[in-house]
Amino acid sequence: MASMFEAMARHRPEWLAQGILMRAVETEPAVRALMIEQLGENLPREEIPGVTEEEVTEGGWRADVCVAWKHRTARLELKLLAGFTRRQEEALKRREVDLLILPSKEGRELPDGLPVLTWRELADAALDPCLKQLLAEVSASSTRRLEEISGTELEQDLNSFVGEREERRWGLMYRFLSTVHQHLNEEAPTEYRASDGWARTPKGEEPYYGFCFWLGDDAKPRYWLGFWRSNNTKKPVFGLSAPSERGPPVLFEEPLSFNAGALARRILSEARGYNCQPR
């Protein structure tokens, strides 16, 4: 059974999590105190700050949430399932983010001294029962990696995605691709650079669900990974492509076995081999 957070979130969990956090900052003194402590600021605990969303920073980064006290404004970045994109990493290094909200602090290489809180810590601080439950469910949902997906599950999720004609951010495909993304980060932390966004993209006449990435510092080739229907069988497949003049655009299609770790290793092997081909 879906949690209350999942049922309310539908396809855009990050929007709901953003709203839950904003409400917690506005109404929960203990949540504000926890944030002030992490920021290392001497701010009045009783002051209720202004809270806004999607504020553009001086360097052009769009902060998920801004919390404005009278003498201090904190820019927050919120993370749910996926790892950091290249632009997010650059914003962290430039210190355009003052406070990071993560599913977990483990396994993350972050700039020294960057204040970090987890969704679980926020849930523990909240007093309102509904907010506490929702924050806890954000934490529980965020930390569930999906290492495998069956062909039947993929067929159902892809059909739902195609039928709705909109981005589907909370389905099994999204959670599985987030897990593949994390494996790629772990396997090739200095090579792998993911795109800034995940979106449905036309692939021939069939919808494609996934994202693009690069290996190394070169802007080309740009690789695409994700789910689509095979042109030959019309069955759902997981695949890797590199549209360019250097050869066939599809490097592989996997119709049967959907294991995130194994696919991440195959992606790296195929992409590295493709990078070595004459240009």
Higher pLDDT, 73 or 201: 73
- Percentage above 90 pLDDT, the chain: 29
Question: pLDDT band at residue 202, thresholds of 50, 70 and 90?
Answer: very low
Looking at the structure, do residues 15 and 135 belong to the same domain, yes or no? yes
73 lies in the same domain as 167: no
Strand partners, 236: 229
What's the pLDDT score for residue 16?
82
- Give the model confidence (pLDDT) of 225-234 as tens digits: 988 888 888 8
- The answer to whether 195 and 212 have CB atoms below 8 angstroms apart is yes
Comparing 59 with 123, the larger pLDDT belongs to 123
| Residues 156, 137 share a domain | no
Q: Are the C-beta atoms of residues 170 and 12 closer than 8 Å to each other?
A: yes
Looking at the predicted structure, is the pLDDT value of residue 117 above 80?
yes
Confidence of residue 1 (pLDDT cuts 50, 70, 90): very low
132 with 171, same domain: the answer is no
Task: Point out the domain boundary residue: 119, 142, 165.
Answer: 142
Nearest 5°: phi and psi at 81?
Answer: -90, -50
Least confident of 63-67, 117-121, 141-145: 141-145
Domain limits for position 230: 151-275
What residues does 201 pair with on adjacent strands? 208
pTM: 0.64
Residues 155 and 91 in one domain: no
Tell me: the pLDDT tens digits for 158-200? 877 776 655 555 567 878 888 898 888 888 888 888 775 555 5
CATH code (residue 71):
3.40.1350
